[in-house]
Structures are given as structure tokens and as C-alpha cells.
């Protein structure tokens, strides 16, 4: 079953603009991760935020986590054409029987030069 659901499914912006993607999940978590996937490649880890953290930064990336709303957002500032990719959130299956991350279906970001 899908835990994380990203919103929007697709986003098109101009270079230099900010891009915001949202992720909602259903159950309690220990941490939430964001990944990027370029076309034809594997996923690349961006940020991991723990359930006791509210905000985390890495370069042009800012991730927030609201455990009361079971949601997270990924903000990419001053976007570049190279940021064009699919972005996925993933949560741990807290209380689940398997050691697994549950991935959402992703947001496809297109940054127009």
C-alpha cells in the first residue's frame, strides 16, 4: 500500500523560480526521506528528516515536517534546468512487519531554461 503521496504530480516552472512539492503519509513514522530520480537513472538520496525535527536544510533544499498533519514539503530555491527530475518522498514502515521504506508515486518537476 502506498504511504507517501506527493502533490502535485507534475510541476513546470522557469529557471530561477522556487519549486515546492508536498508529501502526505498515513501512519506514524521515525523519519522521512526525499529522493531525486533523473530520467533513466536510479534514485539519489537528498535529505532525511527525523520525526523530532521540523525543518532541515541542504544547500538549495529545504524540507519541513509536520507530524501532526502527517505531511512534509520539499522546497528547491532558485531552480536550475539540472533540477529537472522526479522527486519522491519515502517513509519508514513504523510498526510494520518488514524493514522497508514506502515510496510515494513522485512529483515530476520540469525546470524550463
Partner 1 sequence: NAGVTQTPKFRVLKTGQSMTLLCAQDMNHEYMYWYRQDPGMGLRLIHYSVGEGTTAKGEVPDGYNVSRLKKQNFLLGLESAAPSQTSVYFCASSSGIRGLDQPQHFGDGTRLSIL
Contact residues: partner 1, CB under 8 A? 2, 4, 30-31, 33, 40-45, 48, 50, 88, 92-93, 98-101, 103-106
- CA 84-85-90 angle, 5° bins: 140
Gyration radius from the chain CA atoms: 14
Q: Which is nearer to partner 1, 15 or 24 (CB)?
A: 24
Cα distances from 98 to residues 17, 48, 87, 94, in angstroms, run: 40, 20, 24, 9
Q: Which is nearer to partner 1, 4 or 84 (CB)?
A: 4
Q: Output the smallest distance, CB 88 to partner 1, in A.
A: 7
Q: Output the smallest distance, CB 63 to partner 1, in A.
A: 13
Q: Output the smallest distance, CB 19 to partner 1, in A.
A: 20
Q: Output the smallest distance, CB 41 to partner 1, in A.
A: 5
Q: Which is nearer to partner 1, 36 or 70 (CB)?
A: 36
Q: Which is nearer to partner 1, 15 or 22 (CB)?
A: 22
Quote the cell numbers at residue 98. 518488514
Virtual CA dihedral for 58, 109, 3, 1, nearest 10 degrees? -140
Quote the cell numbers at residue 73. 514539503
Distance from C-alpha of 5 to C-alpha of 103, rounded to nearest angstrom: 8
Amino acid at each position: 500500500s502506498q504511504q507517501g503521496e506527493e502533490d502535485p504530480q507534475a510541476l513546470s516552472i522557469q529557471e530561477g523560480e522556487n519549486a515546492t512539492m508536498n508529501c502526505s503519509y498515513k501512519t506514524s513514522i521515525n523519519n522521512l526521506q526525499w529522493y531525486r530520480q533523473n530520467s533513466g537513472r536510479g534514485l539519489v538520496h537528498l535529505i532525511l528528516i527525523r520525526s523530532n525535527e521540523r525543518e532541515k536544510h541542504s544547500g538549495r533544499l529545504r524540507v519541513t515536517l509536520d507530524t501532526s498533519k502527517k505531511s512534509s514539503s520539499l522546497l528547491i530555491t532558485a531552480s536550475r534546468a539540472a533540477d529537472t527530475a522526479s522527486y519522491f518522498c519515502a517513509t519508514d514502515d513504523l510498526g510494520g512487519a518488514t524493514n522497508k521504506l514506502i515510496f510515494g508515486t513522485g512529483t515530476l518537476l520540469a525546470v524550463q531554461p
